[in-house]
Structure 1
Amino acid sequence: MEDITVEQLKSRLDNNEKFVFIDVREEWEYEDDNLGAKNIPLADLPTRLDELEEYKDAEIIVHCRSGARSGNAKKFLESKGFTSVRNTLGGILAYRNL
């Protein structure tokens, strides 16, 4: 699935569109600045997959600080059978610059 730009993400959030939204930053990063996503740090993702099982075929958008960790999360989720995972290009750093 194609990745998503911060402009596209902002538009979708502003329009209250339905998708599963996951922030893979550490908890302290999430507390400092969050967009309303479910916080599952990248390192915890393998042990918390059961929380996402019902969304295997739903659109999932992941984000982090710069797009690197969320890119890894996307690859991991796809390897576990998730079919519609999108990485937020540029992460929260790019989002802040909108």
Structure 2
Amino acid sequence: MDATIQEIKEREAEGKKDYVLLDVREDYERSEFNIGGIHVPLGELMGAFEKLAPHKDDELIVYCRSGKRSAMAGQLLRQAGFSNVRNLEGGMIAWQAG
């Protein structure tokens, strides 16, 4: 199930930072605007599984510009054994619009 912008903003407002954000955009996109979290561009994700291993059982919310790359990243992460991966619906486009 995807995570919604509204859900994340509500959880942040309530101080519930019980998830890990993963930004899979390119460096230039992240430097323009980001909401924090771990940064691993999609093209480098498979080489970063070891770096992400401490979060294997955490709720991992993956985001990108529109939600397409993060959906692909989520699929790769699930195949690698990450148990609780969610895609941020609409990505940064929706975040900035909402």
Between the aligned partners of 1:13 and 1:38, the Cα distance in structure 2 is 17
- Bigger drift between 15-24 and 58-67 goes to 15-24
TM-score when normalising by structure 2? 0.94
Matched with 2:74 is 74
Between the aligned partners of 2:32 and 2:14, the Cα distance in structure 1 is 24
In structure 1, stretches of 5+ residues that fail to align are none
Between the aligned partners of 1:92 and 1:13, the Cα distance in structure 2 is 16
TM-score when normalising by structure 1? 0.94
In structure 2, stretches of 5+ residues that fail to align are none
Aligned length: 97
Q: Which runs of 4+ in 1 moved over 4 A?
A: none
Between the aligned partners of 2:42 and 2:12, the Cα distance in structure 1 is 22
Alignment of 1:37-52 (within 5 A): 37-52=37-52
Q: RMSD value over aligned CA atoms?
A: 1.0
2:4 paired with 1:5? yes
Between the aligned partners of 1:90 and 1:77, the Cα distance in structure 2 is 19
Task: State the Cα distance separating 1:79 from its structure 2 match.
Answer: 0.3
